[in-house]
Amino acid sequence: MPRNKEALIRYRVINRCLVNGKVASLDKLKQECEYELGEQHIGKRTIQEDLKDMREDDRLGYNAPIKFDRYRNGYVYTDPDYSIDKIPLNEEELSALAFSATMLSQLSNVEIFASFTGAAQKIMDAINVHRLMEEESEYDFIQFEQVPFTKGSEYLQPIIDAIRNKLVIQLTYQAFQADQPKETLVHPYLLKEYKHRWYIIGLNDDEQKLKTYGLDRIKGVKVKGKQYIEKDFSPREYFKNTVGVIAPTDEPPEIMLSVKKPQAQYLVTQPLHESQKIAEDQQDKIIFKLKVHPTYELISILLGFGKDLKILKPKRLAKEIIQILENTLGQYD
């Protein structure tokens, strides 16, 4: 156990021995710490240093009112109501906690996070929630993006357990284009969230290749007693040349985009991909280049720029965009 963690445990043991007006000798504190940590010997000097740190170390922030009482031959809190568990937070810390609890509450409809909803509420209660929400929320000037409910979140926990314990799972899976679900064995490696949807990336047992499965298309998950195949799987390497959740294995092309100003500033401030660079900054447009696979997710983003964006290269991507736009126009003939 790291020394700093041992020290924190000792502080809590010492606090437990001194709260509510109790008195504890140095030997008593030493004995209780040894029992809690399961250690044969803790030096008295260590306990004395702990007492000093609890009193004086600004980084801990305890400022514990510890004093040696000669008449009772032990250490006491001069303030009988003191406890390190009752240290008040300043306004900045209270606001930070309230903000964090508000963010956590946005995930309450996702099953795996549901168990934290009570914790978030306890935080709000502990910081005196009525102070924050007398008539309106203190944060009514902050509008969080609402996380929509998506099917499949109930499978997060069993999939996490399978990844953690290296278990093969059987997915009852129905792709969007399929009429009926089918069962497939998967060696799971990664859970990935993209645009409020969860995906599992794993080795398809039949095809022996990495594939991506959307949790919203899963109908059932079962653990199977099959030998788990481990791979040296690096999520960063796997997704380094793609946007979204589909990761082709071939070499990505260099893509060049011409984007009119001021729309180009959206790409300047939030690049499409880590490889994105500015090739030219002209008076009315910016030329971007990036090396990434032209997946469905990327094409959807590019189409969102409409008339303000033009594909300069590769030509096959430009032709694909043209075909999509022509098909779209054809629906309005």
Q: What percent of the chain has pLDDT over 70?
A: 80
Average pLDDT over residues 299-314: 96
Q: Quick one: pLDDT at residue 222?
A: 95
pLDDT at 197: 87
Q: Mean pLDDT of all residues in the chain?
A: 85
Mean pLDDT of 280-304: 96
Type of residue numbered 235: P
More confident residue, 317 or 38: 317
Q: For 318, what's the count of Cα atoms within 13 Å in the CB-facing half-sphere?
A: 12
- Residues 197-223 have a mean pLDDT of 94
* Terminal Cα-to-Cα distance of the chain (whole angstroms): 72
Give the whole-angstrom CA distance, residue 182 versus residue 154. Answer: 19
Closest Cα partner for 200 from 162, 244, 159, 236?
Answer: 159
- The pLDDT, as a whole number, for residue 133 is 41
**Cα–Cα distances in angstroms (integers) from residue 69 to residues 27, 80, 267, 322, in the given order:** 14, 13, 67, 86
Can you list the pairs that 55-60 forms with residues at least 24 positions away whose Cβ atoms lie under 8 Å?
60/11
> Coil, strand, or helix at residue 108?
coil
Sheet strands side by side (includes 285-291)? 277-281, 285-291, 254-260, 309-313
- Indicate whether 125 pLDDT > 60: no
Q: Where are the beta strands (DSSP E) in the chain?
A: 66-69, 74-77, 168-173, 182-194, 197-204, 209-214, 218-224, 254-260, 277-281, 285-291, 309-313
The whole-angstrom separation of Cα 185 and Cα 207 is: 10
Pick the CATH number of 3-85 from 1.10.10, 2.30.29, 1.10.3470, 1.20.1050: 1.10.10
Residue 128 above 50 pLDDT? no
Question: Which CATH number does the domain 254-330 belong to among 3.30.2000, 3.40.50, 3.30.70, 3.30.750?
Answer: 3.30.70
CA dist 118 and 98 (Å) reads: 14
User: For residue 134, which amino acid is it?
Assistant: E
Establish how many alpha carbons lie within 13 A of residue 52's alpha carbon, considering only the half-sphere containing its beta carbon. Answer: 6
Contact (Cβ atoms closer than 8 angstroms) between residue 187 and residue 202: yes
Residue 1 has pLDDT above 70, yes or no: no
The H-assigned helical ranges of 204-314 are 235-239, 264-269, 296-303
When pLDDT is averaged across residues 8-18 and rounded to a whole number, the result is 92
Name the segment(s) of the chain with CATH classification 3.30.70. Answer: 254-330
Cis peptide before 314 (omega within 30 of 0): yes
- 153-239 fold: SH3 type barrels. (2.30.30)
Mean pLDDT, residues 93-102: 65
Give the pLDDT confidence score for residue 229 in this predicted structure: 95
Examine the pLDDT at 115 and tell me if it is beyond 60.
Answer: no
- Residue predicted with more confidence, 30 or 195: 30
Residue with tokens 């991507």: 317
Please name the residue that has the structure tokens 């009772």.
72
CATH 2.30.30 maps onto the chain at 153-239
Q: How confident is the model at residue 122 (pLDDT cuts 50, 70, 90)?
A: low
How many Å apart are CA 65 and CA 77, to the nearest integer? 5
Burial class of 171 by CB neighbour count within 10 A (0 to 12, 13 to 18, 19+): buried
C-alpha–C-alpha distance, residues 50 and 42, integer Å: 12
Q: 93 pLDDT exceeds 80?
A: no
What does the block give as tokens for 56? Answer: 């004086």
Q: How many residues does the chain have?
A: 333
pLDDT of residue 2: 41
What pLDDT does 135 receive? 42
Which pLDDT score, from 0 to 100, does residue 117 have? 56
pTM over 0.75: no
Q: Which residue has the higher pLDDT, 199 or 3?
A: 199
